């Protein structure tokens, strides 16, 4: 496994024992060190799901801090992604040409985090 960005993101995206996907369940995209919240809007089968980005509004007063608190809501205009559960036990975005995206995903809850150090 290649380590880069946030250790928390690399550990989260490689969690074993992720829950069985269900419509309405949260999902999180792990970027370099940021995280973006999504919700599952379709379960095609246990290895193929569709997610939509959620709106996240910051509600704390901590400024440029690692201590961040957000309020989440569904966004009917949020970007939509098709995810595939790989044989290695990871969720990845699946493109029309059958290639897989490089960002990791985990399901079970939606979380936003913005890393101010970059």
Residue 113 maps to a domain: no
pLDDT at res. 38 = 97
Q: Of 18, 85, 16, 17, which is closest to residue 50 (Cα–Cα)?
A: 85
Residue 115 maps to a domain: no
Interval 37-58 mean pLDDT:
96
Which tens digits make up the pLDDT trace of 106-117?
Answer: 899 899 999 888
Query: Residue 82 is part of which domain span?
Result: 7-107
Residue 74 maps to a domain: yes
Residue 116 maps to a domain: no
Residue 27 maps to a domain: yes
**Number of independent structural domains in the chain:** 1
Residue 75 maps to a domain: yes
CA atoms within 13 A on the CB side of 83: 30
- Cα dist. 41→26, 32, 38, 80, 100 in Å? 10, 25, 9, 9, 20
Residue 65 maps to a domain: yes
What is this structure's pTM? 0.83
Per-range mean pLDDT, top range of 2-16, 85-99, 100-114: 100-114
């Amino acid at each position: 496994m290649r380590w880069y960005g946030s250790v928390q993101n690399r550990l989260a995206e490689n969690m074993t024992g992720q829950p069985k996907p269900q419509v309405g369940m949260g999902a999180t995209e792990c970027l370099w060190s940021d995280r973006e919240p999504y919700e599952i809007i379709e379960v095609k089968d246990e290895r193929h799901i569709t997610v939509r980005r959620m709106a996240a509004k910051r509600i704390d007063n901590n400024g440029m801090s690692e201590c961040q608190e957000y309020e989440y809501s569904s966004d009917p205009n949020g970007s939509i992604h098709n995810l595939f559960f790989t044989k290695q036990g990871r969720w990845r975005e699946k493109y029309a040409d059958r290639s897989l995206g490089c960002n990791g995903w985990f399901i079970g809850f939606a979380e936003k985090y913005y890393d101010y150090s970059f």
